[in-house]
Amino acid sequence: MWDLFVSLFINVLLWIYDVIGHNFGIAIILFTILIRIVTWPLNAQQMKGAAAMQNLQNDKEWQAIQKKYAKDREKLAQEQMRIYRERGISPFASCLPTLIQFPIIIALYQSIIRALASTPLDLLKLSRSIYPALNVSDLIPLNSKFLWMNLGQPEGIPLPFDISFLPYGFPLLAIIVAITTYIQAKLTMPASTNPNDQSAAMSKMMSVYMPLMLGYFALTFASGLSVYFITSNVLGIVQYAMQGKANWRNLLPGGQKK
Amino acid sequence: MRKKLILAVMVLLAAVLLSACGGPVRGTTWAGLAADDSTAYLADGPYVYAVNVKDGKELWHYPENVDSKLIFYSTPVITPDGLVIVGSAGNDHSLIALNPTDVNPETNAPVEAWRFSAATDHWVATPLVVGNKLFAPNSDGNLYVLDLQDGQSTKKAVETIELGGRLWAQPTTDGERIFVTSLDPSVSAVDVETYEVLWHEELNGAIPGSAVLGADGMLYVGSLASQLEKFDPATGKHEPVLEAENWIWSTPSLDGDTLYFGDLDGNFYSFNTSTGKSNWPPVKPDGPITASPLIQTDHLLVATESGSLFAINRDGGVLWSEEIGGKIYTTPVAAGDLILVAPLETEFYLAALDQNGRQVWTFAPGN
């Protein structure tokens, strides 16, 4: 089942690659846009769910039950569920789209690695993943060069000196991945006036950990994945901005407090 | 505070797990296998093993411990002065010469005679030794020429010849020219003395195998366009001479004036270079064929992806077949009276068979 999913990704990627004249970097960017369009309703739902949860944190009734049942967790949970029901809020609505991103990232990573086929066995497996509608002999091997990168390998700009912890050189793409992830996380972080707001605290933590984690992935894995991360982040920022949800003040020092 | 801790642990775990995925492991592709009468050299994932042909016992392995930057699966080459040269498909892109006569008794690893680290991509191809020179094709599209007699422990290329594409196969030589195949897909001829590219011809499909010089003096190449192509080695003029049913992955094996090779549909062909025709209709063993056939005195040995070894006589008749297990992609090798087979997806890494296909020993590290 998973293989079929990855094969679908590979074939769509290769179809785009074929149509646009054999540029795999552009194919990844267009494929990311396609994924963003397909998952647009999910992302919109995530934003809506996050906003509803955020509003709830500042709601007087919500704050009142937090105080009233602070020592009775079971009762507190029952009351929270009642409020969720009454206001039509799903506490998991903001998590689901994020969870869906993970299998997409993993499938995309596998499809990039398999499509670029850096080993003979990869090439053999690739030949068996391609649908008959695509002319395999014309496509293989894929052109893995994009700008200064080899998309099948971690990215780095050569330095005139050796640094053991930077085996590929200066990791420009990893830095861009970390910055765009940080910007996206900050822009989507809603303002909160409640000092006990746990979801705001969680968002703050995520805005630190996610850029570090994705930056580390970009540093370690094939640069094709970094192209996906950056495109996806930029599109996410654009989507938030288009929907008027982007909180630009968060990017400024102390912006959260205003 | 507890949530922060959980999140931090999750991130750390994800990073560690995904990092582990990138480390050198066995089975990312098939092994490279070479042997002389006494020793088999197996490049199989994180290690290169030297195995005693007599009893299947490990003589040494390299490196001493797993190195995340090193992964081996290109077929090692043994130089006339006894060095074992093997390329790494790991992230440091090194071509390493090992001295099997100088093994550290404490680590059981041989000493490195030299290392070449200027390539920018994986080593899949086996280098070719011509006199004092080593012609080493890399996946970065360059053919590196190294001087084997310069005494340097950190080698520098005497010449870097840009051919383009990914070079995955060992070059072939007629003494005057070096013929290099590429996945891009093309075949090039390089002057062995001046390193000038004499010709560069494109084909319709990638070429993962080597070119072969036929008894008729012509150059033959199988491709992923499912064609056997004949080249004039002097001019590069070429034409297809056989249409296969599927991709021709392996290097054809030459026996007299006949070329033997298989395709990914599992067909086994016998092409007579003198007549320009097949000797007999394709024989179909039990699975796709990526390995080159091994020419024996009275038969040919054909390994299949289904994990079988077939003995086929020169008339196309099957003499015997043995199920080795796993999947066989690596070309079998003769070592003395034995036949060595390196399957994938089996508990053992290497098996030795007698001339009738009966197993003599198997090798797995630590046994």
Q: Dump pLDDT digits (tens) for B260-275.
A: 999 999 999 999 999 9
Q: Rounded to the nearest 10 degrees, what angle do helices A120-129 and A2-19 cross at? A: 90
C-alpha distance from residue A77 to each of A49, A66, A198, A203, B211 (Å): 19, 10, 15, 22, 73
B138 three-state secondary structure: coil
Whether ipTM exceeds 0.95? no
B12 or A35, higher pLDDT: A35
Measured between alpha carbons, how far is residue B184 from residues A19, A134, B139, B167, B330 in Å? Answer: 19, 18, 11, 8, 23
Contact B264 A216 (CB under 8 A): no
Element of type H or E holding B354? none
Q: How far is A242 from chain B (nearest CA, A)?
A: 31
Optimal mutation site among B17, B18, B223, interface A, most CBs of chain A within 10 A: B18
Which residues in chain A have their CB less than 8 angstroms from residue B4's CB?
A: 205
Contact B207, B169 (CB under 8 A): yes
| Residue A190, preceding peptide bond in cis (omega within 30° of 0) | no
Q: Give A237: exposed, middle or buried? Use CB within 10 Å, 0-12, 13-18, 19+.
A: middle
Does residue B54 contact residue B67 with C-beta atoms inside 8 Å?
Answer: no
Minimal Cα distance from A215: which residue of B?
Answer: B15
**Residue B1 has what pLDDT?**
45
Task: State both tokens at B170.
Answer: 């060992």
Q: Let me know if A29 is exposed, middle or buried by CB neighbors in 10 A (0-12, 13-18, 19+).
A: buried
State how far the Cα of B332 lies from the Cα of B334, in Å rounded to an integer: 7
DSSP label at A95?
T
Rg of chain A over Cα atoms, rounded to whole angstroms, equals 22
Beta strands B186-191 and B172-173, pairing class: unpaired
* Strands of the sheet with B159-162, listed across from one edge: B128-130, B133-137, B142-147, B159-162
- pLDDT tens, A182-211? 888 888 766 555 555 566 666 677 778 889
Q: Which residue has the higher pLDDT, B118 or A197?
A: B118
CA-nearest of B77, B92, B212 to B148 is B77
Q: Which of A102, A112, A118 to mutate to test the interface with B (most CBs of B within 10 A)?
A: A118
Name the residue type at position B246. N
Compare CB distances from A124 to B122, B205, B290 and report the shortest one's residue: B290
**HSE-up of residue B58 (Cα within 13 Å, Cβ side):** 19
**pLDDT score for B229:** 98
Dist CA B100 CA B113 (whole Å): 10
Considering chain B, what is the average pLDDT of its residues?
A: 93
Per-residue pLDDT reduced to its tens digit, A39-88: 878 777 777 777 777 777 778 888 888 888 888 888 888 888 888 888 88
State the nearest Cα–Cα gap between B69 and chain A, in angstroms: 10
**A213: nearest Cα among B19, B112, B259:** B19
B288 pLDDT exceeds 50? yes
CA–CA distance, B310 with B320 (Å, rounded to integer):
6
Task: Return the closest-CA partner of residue A92 out of A38, A57, A41, A42.
Answer: A42
How far is CA B199 from its chain centroid?
25
Facing residue for A121 by CB, picked from B29, B91, B168: B29
- Token output for A174: 């990893």
SS3 (DSSP) at A108: helix
**Per-residue pLDDT tens digits for B133-142:** 999 999 999 9
Compute the Cα dihedral for B59, B65, B70, B73 and give only its sign.
Answer: positive
pLDDT above 80 (res A171) = yes
Of B161, B232, B172, the residue nearest B207 (C-alpha): B172
A145-154, A200-209, B302-311 — which one is most confidently predicted on average?
A: B302-311
* B293 prior amide bond cis, ω within 30: no
